[in-house]
Structure 1
Amino acid sequence: MESNPTRRRLLQLSGVGATASLAGCSQFDIPGSQDDNGADPQTESEAELEADTEPDSDPEDGITAIVQPDPEALQQLQQEVMAELEEGELDQQEAQMEFQQRQVELISSHAVEFESEMAADDDISVEAGVAQEGALLLDGPDERFMELLRNSEVSGLMPGEEYGRMLEQQQQQQPPVEPDNGGEEPVEDDADGDADAGDEADDGDEDADE
């Protein structure tokens, strides 16, 4: 990838757009909308991608596409939640959680819609994706990526290794999984007990012979 000057130039131009898009999305956050660990919210109702989170190939071989809803949609969402807060339907904490959840749902739905559109594209393939982040790992020709940018189908493009870094951060944020014994008591090794029983049986046979 590094030997391709066209792709390097493409990422230089679009990387700024991707960063600005993510920053533009975060500006609508209500203060305190993240949890105590600073992690993004997870909702049961968020849309899911057909592609797996983990790619089968090296992320560096692809391109990370960032897809975000229109700023107008995010502004409308913020206004709706603020109206509910002002009318007393929600308190401050509830408003933060409501905005947080609906924002993730909006981003996830937009990512799923983009994936569905790319399924009919002969040039672009979706290798992996994280819906709630609006991030998808794509493979395809540079000319098609330029078209996606010109048509505003993606908010920005970044190197594929950025997707790999995002996966590493998510894995670090996940709590360790404790082993599940199923509530069963551990089975003790009874080999010594069997050996003792065998010795006692041998002693009994010797007494009988005498």
Structure 2
Amino acid sequence: MVDTPNRRRFLQLTGASATAAVAGCADLNPMSDGDGPHADKVTAIVEPNREAMQEIQEDVMAGEMDQMEAEQELETLVDDAITSFEDREADDDELIVEESESLTDQTGQMEMGMLYLLDGEPASLIDALMNGTVSQLHGGATYETILEQQQAAEEQQSPGSEQPDEEELEEIEEELEGELEEQEETEDDADEDSDE
């Protein structure tokens, strides 16, 4: 099985869910923002079920699913999670979405979930968490913190730091093989000259 950079990247993405976006927020009290922005709101993270993401990762590693199929499957899981939450929110008059933003991987290219700024009755918020349509709840200020972290991560991705695609890797490999062959021929010629 060929372990291309794209395959490795996909495995990293499925192994790191959208919750990675809140890694820097771990020291925040999840439900208390004091007088900060959105102090009276709640941040909700909606992402695919972790077991389902793990299954995709295992299928890719076992060679049972190629990268394109895995990315399509992940996209379906993300869409299903978002649709499930938004359907529930539409049916609940006590749960109001104030703002929303996609959660993406560090390159900003693959959607990993959705971030919502919510207002609503505590019972509705807890029910959304308990029935699985919401992965995590945090204080309202966490919404802006996650967006800032996501934007900073995307800005750090400069064109020079991107992984080469398969064609570029093949070209590099061919060049290296050519150079190696030339070096071996030179060494063989040198050995023949020394033998004479």
User: Which structure: greater strand fraction?
Assistant: 2
Shorter-normalised TM range: 0.3 to 0.5
Taking structure 1 as the reference length, the TM-score comes to: 0.44
Q: Between Structure 1 and Structure 2, whose CA radius of gyration is higher? A: 1
